[in-house]
């Protein structure tokens, strides 16, 4: 069984997003993304996010995309990004991913923020290790893409 099927088990299908991802006026295209994928919309009532606290907008899970499985919490912000808020939201998404993804799964982890603009000071803050996001022992910096970009741009960046 692939990672997508493992995560899909026990989820309410109403929390699965279809088509482009759009939140707060910021759109992320799934063009070029693998067919074997699952995108959870954490704003839907049946999403597995738990009560209270911050949360990111989406969780992207894909099987065998560029020879690996992928897990990517995604936050969409049309306006200027604020590091502390985005990091908090992406960490909450990564915590949900840790609950959903079976231990020992082999995947690449990539937290992604899609935004309209990122002030230079905020971009520098995102590069600091204290703002990295952890999931199943994998520690990664937040990757930035622009609103309107394809998600694969965030997955493809180094």
Query: Of the candidates 82, 54, 57, which has an alpha carbon nearest to the alpha carbon of residue 72?
Result: 57
- Specify the pLDDT at position 141: 96
User: Would you give the distance in Å from CA 100 to the centre of its chain?
Assistant: 13
What are 88-116's pLDDT values in tens digits?
A: 999 999 999 999 999 888 999 999 999 99
Q: Is residue 117 over pLDDT 80? A: yes
Query: 143 or 104, which is more confident?
Result: 143
CA gap 29, 20 in Å, rounded: 5
Q: What is the DSSP string of 98-119?
A: HHHSPTT---EE--EEEEEE--
Q: What is the DSSP string of 45-80?
A: TT-TT-SSS---SEEEEEEEETTEEEEEEEEEEEEE
For residues 72-95, give the mean pLDDT. 94
Q: Give CA separation, 109 vs 69, 73, 97, 125, 156, in Å.
A: 9, 9, 10, 20, 12
CB atoms closer than 10 angstroms to residue 2 = 15
What are 23-73's pLDDT values in tens digits?
A: 989 999 999 888 899 999 998 888 887 666 678 999 999 997 677 899 999
Beta partners for residue 60, in sequence order: 39, 72
**In this structure, what token pair is assigned to residue 69?**
């499985």
């Amino acid at each position: 069984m692939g990672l997508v099927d493992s995560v899909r088990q026990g989820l309410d299908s109403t929390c699965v997003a279809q088509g482009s991802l759009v939140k707060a006026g910021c759109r992320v295209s799934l063009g070029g993304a693998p067919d074997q994928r699952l995108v959870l919309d954490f704003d839907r009532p049946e999403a597995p996010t738990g009560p209270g606290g911050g949360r990111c907008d989406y969780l992207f899970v894909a099987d065998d995309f560029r020879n690996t499985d992928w897990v990517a919490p995604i936050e969409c912000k049309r306006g200027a990004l604020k590091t502390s808020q985005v990091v908090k939201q992406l960490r909450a998404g990564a915590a949900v991913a840790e609950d959903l993804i079976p231990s020992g799964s082999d995947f690449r982890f990539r937290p992604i923020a899609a935004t309209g603009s990122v002030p230079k000071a905020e971009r520098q803050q995102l590069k600091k290790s204290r703002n990295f996001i952890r999931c199943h022992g994998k520690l990664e910096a937040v990757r930035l893409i622009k609103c309107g970009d394809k998600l694969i741009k965030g997955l493809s960046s180094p």
